[in-house]
Copies of this chain bind each other. A is one copy, B any other.
Amino acid sequence: MSATDDLEAVKALKARYFRLLDTKDWEGFRALFTDDVAIDTSAAGGTVTTGADDFVAFLVDVLADAVTVHQGHMPEIELTGPDSATGIWALHDVVIFPTGLRLDGFGHYHETYAREADGWRIASSTLTRLHQDFRGGDD
């Protein structure tokens, strides 16, 4: 593959991340990550999770009954080796929980990617926030 092909492959990987998350295709979503992926959303009020299985189990628990929209923008991807890359994505997300609580948020993902035998995977992801609004909910 050329460097251009790798850039497009990483973009396609992250596009699938957003779409499979929002359409709740958890099995397809799981396959996007390295087994030992490191997820850090602590700067956005979340947690630190290691391992794709644990991360997906967490998301199913929190988001399976929520309406979610996650849209990514303006990737800055750099190939850092034959099988590794870094990327930054802007995020606009909407999450509407069954309680009626609604989040409208903006921020950035800071990520690394690894090429495995069957293609590129998300190896780590840290979310930072520019702004988030919460409204509604039962309380």
CB within 8 Å of B: which of A47-95?
Answer: 67-69, 71-76, 88, 90, 92, 94
A48 vs chain B, min Cβ distance (A): 22
A69 to B7, CA, bound (A): 25
Q: How many copies does the complex hold?
A: 3
A12–B76 CB distance below 8 A: yes
DSSP class of A's interface residues: helix, strand, loop or mixed? strand
Instruction: Look across to chain B and name the residue whose beta carbon is closest to the beta carbon of A128.
Output: B23
A74 touches which one: B15, B23, B108, B131 (CB < 8 A)?
B15
Considering the chains assembled together, what is the distance between the CA atoms of A36 and B56 in angstroms?
42
Which A98-123 residues sit within 8 Å CB-CB of chain B? 106, 108
Report which A residues bind B (CB closer than 8 A): 4-5, 7-8, 11-12, 14-16, 18-19, 22-23, 67-69, 71-76, 88, 90, 92, 94, 96, 106, 108, 130-131
18 contacts between A and B (CB under 8 A): A4-B5, A4-B8, A12-B76, A15-B90, A18-B74, A19-B76, A19-B90, A22-B130, A67-B131, A68-B130, A69-B92, A69-B131, A71-B106, A72-B73, A73-B73, A94-B106, A94-B131, A96-B131
